[in-house]
A and B are shown apart, each in its own frame.
Chain A
Amino acid sequence: MPPKPTKVTNQIRTLRFASGEMTQADLAERLRVTRQTVIAIEQGKYSPSLEMAFEIARVFKRPLDDVFHYAAGGTDDQPSS
Protein backbone atom coordinates (compact mmCIF):
# COMPACT_ATOMS: atom_id res chain seq x y z
CA MET A 1 0.00 0.00 0.00
CA PRO A 2 1.54 3.39 -0.97
CA PRO A 3 2.31 5.85 1.85
CA LYS A 4 -0.44 8.33 2.62
CA PRO A 5 0.29 11.74 1.10
CA THR A 6 -0.81 13.67 4.19
CA LYS A 7 0.61 13.49 7.72
CA VAL A 8 -2.84 13.98 9.19
CA THR A 9 -4.52 10.79 10.37
CA ASN A 10 -8.07 10.56 11.61
CA GLN A 11 -10.66 8.45 13.39
CA ILE A 12 -13.56 9.37 11.13
CA ARG A 13 -14.34 5.84 10.04
CA THR A 14 -14.43 4.59 13.63
CA LEU A 15 -16.49 7.56 14.77
CA ARG A 16 -18.98 7.04 11.94
CA PHE A 17 -19.64 3.49 13.03
CA ALA A 18 -19.90 4.62 16.63
CA SER A 19 -22.48 7.20 15.54
CA GLY A 20 -25.21 4.80 14.51
CA GLU A 21 -23.46 3.35 11.45
CA MET A 22 -23.39 6.73 9.73
CA THR A 23 -22.55 6.23 6.05
CA GLN A 24 -19.99 8.22 4.08
CA ALA A 25 -22.87 9.72 2.10
CA ASP A 26 -24.64 10.80 5.33
CA LEU A 27 -21.52 12.52 6.60
CA ALA A 28 -20.90 14.12 3.20
CA GLU A 29 -24.42 15.54 3.18
CA ARG A 30 -23.96 17.04 6.64
CA LEU A 31 -20.66 18.59 5.60
CA ARG A 32 -22.04 19.75 2.23
CA VAL A 33 -19.26 17.97 0.33
CA THR A 34 -19.19 14.98 -2.00
CA ARG A 35 -18.91 11.40 -0.77
CA GLN A 36 -15.60 11.24 -2.65
CA THR A 37 -14.20 13.99 -0.41
CA VAL A 38 -15.20 12.13 2.76
CA ILE A 39 -13.53 8.99 1.38
CA ALA A 40 -10.36 10.93 0.49
CA ILE A 41 -10.19 12.42 4.01
CA GLU A 42 -10.76 9.04 5.66
CA GLN A 43 -8.00 7.46 3.59
CA GLY A 44 -5.56 10.29 4.37
CA LYS A 45 -5.47 11.39 0.73
CA TYR A 46 -6.76 14.86 1.44
CA SER A 47 -6.25 17.15 4.41
CA PRO A 48 -9.45 19.10 5.06
CA SER A 49 -9.36 22.80 5.76
CA LEU A 50 -9.31 23.82 9.41
CA GLU A 51 -12.90 24.94 9.08
CA MET A 52 -14.02 21.59 7.68
CA ALA A 53 -12.04 19.75 10.36
CA PHE A 54 -13.98 21.65 13.04
CA GLU A 55 -17.24 20.87 11.23
CA ILE A 56 -16.39 17.17 11.18
CA ALA A 57 -15.55 17.23 14.90
CA ARG A 58 -18.82 19.03 15.57
CA VAL A 59 -20.80 16.34 13.70
CA PHE A 60 -19.37 13.72 16.07
CA LYS A 61 -19.63 16.03 19.10
CA ARG A 62 -15.95 15.44 19.85
CA PRO A 63 -12.98 17.77 20.32
CA LEU A 64 -10.75 18.15 17.28
CA ASP A 65 -7.96 16.12 18.90
CA ASP A 66 -10.24 13.08 19.16
CA VAL A 67 -10.84 13.13 15.41
CA PHE A 68 -7.54 14.24 13.85
CA HIS A 69 -3.93 13.51 14.73
CA TYR A 70 -0.80 15.00 13.25
CA ALA A 71 1.71 12.20 12.67
CA ALA A 72 4.89 14.17 11.95
CA GLY A 73 7.78 13.05 14.16
CA GLY A 74 9.74 15.35 16.41
CA THR A 75 7.23 18.19 16.50
CA ASP A 76 5.71 17.50 19.90
CA ASP A 77 8.25 19.60 21.80
CA GLN A 78 6.62 21.85 24.32
CA PRO A 79 7.81 25.45 24.38
CA SER A 80 10.09 26.03 27.36
CA SER A 81 8.91 28.58 29.88
Chain B
Amino acid sequence: MNHELRQPGDDDPIVMTAEERSVWVYLAVVVITSTAYFAVVIPRAVSQPIEDVSWIPPMLWTLGFSIGGTIVGSIVGAIGGAMGLAIRGIDPKGQLEGDLRDKDIKRYGDRRAAVVSGGAMFGVLVLAMIGADLFWIGNLVFLAGTVGGIVETTVKIRAYRRGF
Protein backbone atom coordinates (compact mmCIF):
# COMPACT_ATOMS: atom_id res chain seq x y z
CA MET B 1 0.00 0.00 0.00
CA ASN B 2 1.33 3.43 -0.95
CA HIS B 3 1.40 5.81 2.03
CA GLU B 4 2.90 8.77 0.14
CA LEU B 5 0.74 11.86 0.53
CA ARG B 6 0.82 14.48 -2.19
CA GLN B 7 0.21 18.22 -2.24
CA PRO B 8 -3.28 19.09 -3.50
CA GLY B 9 -3.53 20.22 -7.09
CA ASP B 10 -5.67 23.14 -8.23
CA ASP B 11 -8.37 20.72 -9.39
CA ASP B 12 -8.66 18.93 -6.05
CA PRO B 13 -11.78 19.74 -4.02
CA ILE B 14 -11.62 22.62 -1.57
CA VAL B 15 -11.99 21.37 1.99
CA MET B 16 -13.08 23.33 5.02
CA THR B 17 -10.43 24.45 7.48
CA ALA B 18 -10.76 23.14 11.03
CA GLU B 19 -11.96 26.61 12.07
CA GLU B 20 -14.79 26.56 9.54
CA ARG B 21 -15.77 23.05 10.63
CA SER B 22 -15.92 24.29 14.23
CA VAL B 23 -18.25 27.10 13.19
CA TRP B 24 -20.61 24.61 11.53
CA VAL B 25 -20.46 22.37 14.62
CA TYR B 26 -21.21 25.32 16.92
CA LEU B 27 -24.20 26.34 14.80
CA ALA B 28 -25.61 22.81 14.85
CA VAL B 29 -25.04 22.43 18.60
CA VAL B 30 -26.60 25.81 19.45
CA VAL B 31 -29.70 25.11 17.36
CA ILE B 32 -30.18 21.57 18.69
CA THR B 33 -29.56 22.27 22.39
CA SER B 34 -31.51 25.56 22.46
CA THR B 35 -34.46 23.95 20.69
CA ALA B 36 -34.42 21.13 23.25
CA TYR B 37 -34.23 23.64 26.14
CA PHE B 38 -37.15 25.72 24.93
CA ALA B 39 -39.14 22.58 24.16
CA VAL B 40 -38.85 21.67 27.84
CA VAL B 41 -39.22 25.11 29.46
CA ILE B 42 -41.89 26.82 27.34
CA PRO B 43 -44.63 24.22 28.09
CA ARG B 44 -43.81 24.58 31.80
CA ALA B 45 -43.99 28.36 31.58
CA VAL B 46 -47.37 28.18 29.86
CA SER B 47 -48.89 25.69 32.30
CA GLN B 48 -47.77 27.05 35.67
CA PRO B 49 -46.94 30.34 37.43
CA ILE B 50 -43.60 31.75 36.23
CA GLU B 51 -42.08 31.79 39.71
CA ASP B 52 -42.71 28.03 40.03
CA VAL B 53 -41.11 27.07 36.69
CA SER B 54 -38.01 24.91 37.10
CA TRP B 55 -35.67 26.34 34.48
CA ILE B 56 -32.21 26.23 36.10
CA PRO B 57 -31.54 22.44 35.85
CA PRO B 58 -32.56 22.29 32.14
CA MET B 59 -30.42 25.34 31.41
CA LEU B 60 -27.40 23.84 33.15
CA TRP B 61 -27.84 20.62 31.18
CA THR B 62 -28.17 22.63 27.98
CA LEU B 63 -25.01 24.65 28.66
CA GLY B 64 -23.13 21.45 29.52
CA PHE B 65 -24.23 19.72 26.33
CA SER B 66 -23.44 22.86 24.29
CA ILE B 67 -19.89 23.16 25.59
CA GLY B 68 -19.21 19.42 25.46
CA GLY B 69 -20.85 19.00 22.07
CA THR B 70 -18.88 21.86 20.54
CA ILE B 71 -15.55 20.55 21.86
CA VAL B 72 -16.17 16.95 20.84
CA GLY B 73 -17.71 17.93 17.50
CA SER B 74 -14.79 20.20 16.64
CA ILE B 75 -12.25 17.49 17.43
CA VAL B 76 -14.19 14.88 15.46
CA GLY B 77 -14.56 17.35 12.57
CA ALA B 78 -10.83 18.10 12.48
CA ILE B 79 -9.89 14.41 12.61
CA GLY B 80 -12.53 13.56 10.00
CA GLY B 81 -11.24 16.31 7.70
CA ALA B 82 -7.66 15.10 7.99
CA MET B 83 -8.67 11.47 7.43
CA GLY B 84 -10.83 12.39 4.45
CA LEU B 85 -7.87 14.09 2.78
CA ALA B 86 -5.45 11.29 3.69
CA ILE B 87 -7.79 8.68 2.20
CA ARG B 88 -7.69 10.62 -1.08
CA GLY B 89 -3.90 10.63 -0.84
CA ILE B 90 -3.69 14.37 -0.11
CA ASP B 91 -1.46 15.80 2.59
CA PRO B 92 -3.73 17.57 5.13
CA LYS B 93 -0.85 19.83 6.23
CA GLY B 94 -1.47 23.41 5.19
CA GLN B 95 -5.15 22.84 4.50
CA LEU B 96 -6.84 22.44 7.86
CA GLU B 97 -5.09 24.67 10.38
CA GLY B 98 -6.26 28.24 10.83
CA ASP B 99 -4.54 31.29 9.38
CA LEU B 100 -4.99 35.06 9.11
CA ARG B 101 -8.23 34.74 7.12
CA ASP B 102 -9.75 32.58 9.86
CA LYS B 103 -8.80 35.22 12.43
CA ASP B 104 -10.31 37.99 10.29
CA ILE B 105 -13.54 36.03 9.87
CA LYS B 106 -13.64 35.32 13.60
CA ARG B 107 -13.35 39.04 14.39
CA TYR B 108 -15.99 39.85 11.75
CA GLY B 109 -18.49 37.35 13.23
CA ASP B 110 -17.72 38.25 16.84
CA ARG B 111 -18.48 41.93 16.14
CA ARG B 112 -21.96 41.02 14.86
CA ALA B 113 -22.62 38.81 17.90
CA ALA B 114 -21.52 41.65 20.19
CA VAL B 115 -24.42 43.76 18.88
CA VAL B 116 -26.87 41.07 20.05
CA SER B 117 -25.13 40.81 23.43
CA GLY B 118 -25.25 44.58 23.86
CA GLY B 119 -28.99 44.66 23.16
CA ALA B 120 -29.57 41.83 25.62
CA MET B 121 -27.59 43.64 28.32
CA PHE B 122 -29.92 46.58 27.98
CA GLY B 123 -32.94 44.28 28.18
CA VAL B 124 -31.59 42.62 31.34
CA LEU B 125 -31.04 46.04 32.88
CA VAL B 126 -34.64 47.02 32.18
CA LEU B 127 -35.97 43.72 33.57
CA ALA B 128 -33.91 44.18 36.75
CA MET B 129 -35.14 47.77 37.15
CA ILE B 130 -38.78 46.74 36.99
CA GLY B 131 -38.18 43.83 39.37
CA ALA B 132 -39.00 41.07 36.88
CA ASP B 133 -38.82 37.45 38.01
CA LEU B 134 -35.41 35.79 37.67
CA PHE B 135 -36.98 33.45 35.11
CA TRP B 136 -37.24 36.32 32.64
CA ILE B 137 -33.75 37.64 33.33
CA GLY B 138 -32.09 34.24 33.08
CA ASN B 139 -33.97 33.28 29.97
CA LEU B 140 -33.34 36.60 28.23
CA VAL B 141 -29.61 36.07 28.74
CA PHE B 142 -29.96 32.51 27.44
CA LEU B 143 -31.98 33.65 24.43
CA ALA B 144 -29.38 36.32 23.68
CA GLY B 145 -26.70 33.63 23.76
CA THR B 146 -28.72 31.50 21.34
CA VAL B 147 -29.50 34.33 18.93
CA GLY B 148 -25.96 35.71 19.23
CA GLY B 149 -24.53 32.26 18.48
CA ILE B 150 -26.75 31.83 15.42
CA VAL B 151 -25.93 35.34 14.14
CA GLU B 152 -22.21 34.86 14.75
CA THR B 153 -22.01 31.48 13.02
CA THR B 154 -24.25 32.51 10.12
CA VAL B 155 -22.14 35.61 9.48
CA LYS B 156 -18.95 33.56 9.64
CA ILE B 157 -20.26 30.84 7.32
CA ARG B 158 -21.39 33.48 4.84
CA ALA B 159 -17.93 35.07 5.03
CA TYR B 160 -16.28 31.70 4.42
CA ARG B 161 -18.56 30.83 1.50
CA ARG B 162 -19.20 34.15 -0.22
CA GLY B 163 -16.36 36.29 1.04
CA PHE B 164 -16.37 39.54 2.98
Chain B interface (Cβ within 8 Å of chain A)? Answer: 7-10, 14-17, 94-101, 104, 162-164
Contact = CB atoms under 8 A, between A and B. Distances in A.
Interface residues of A, number: 25
A52 B100 CA distance: 9
Given A28-B94, A33-B100, A36-B95, A46 B164 contact: yes
A21 B15 CA distance: 22
Nearest to B99: A33
A36 B7 contact: no
Decide if the interface of chain B is mainly helix, strand, loop or mixed: loop
A19 interface: no
Interface in A1-54: 2, 4-6, 23-26, 28-29, 32-37, 39-40, 43-46, 48-49, 52
A37 B10 CA distance: 13
A39 B14 contact: yes
Contacts of B101: 33-34, 36-37, 40, 46
Contacts of A5: 162-164
A45 B100 CA distance: 14
A29 B99 CA distance: 12
Contact of B100 (A35, A39, A49): A49
A45 B163 contact: yes
Contact of B10 (A23, A45, A46): A23
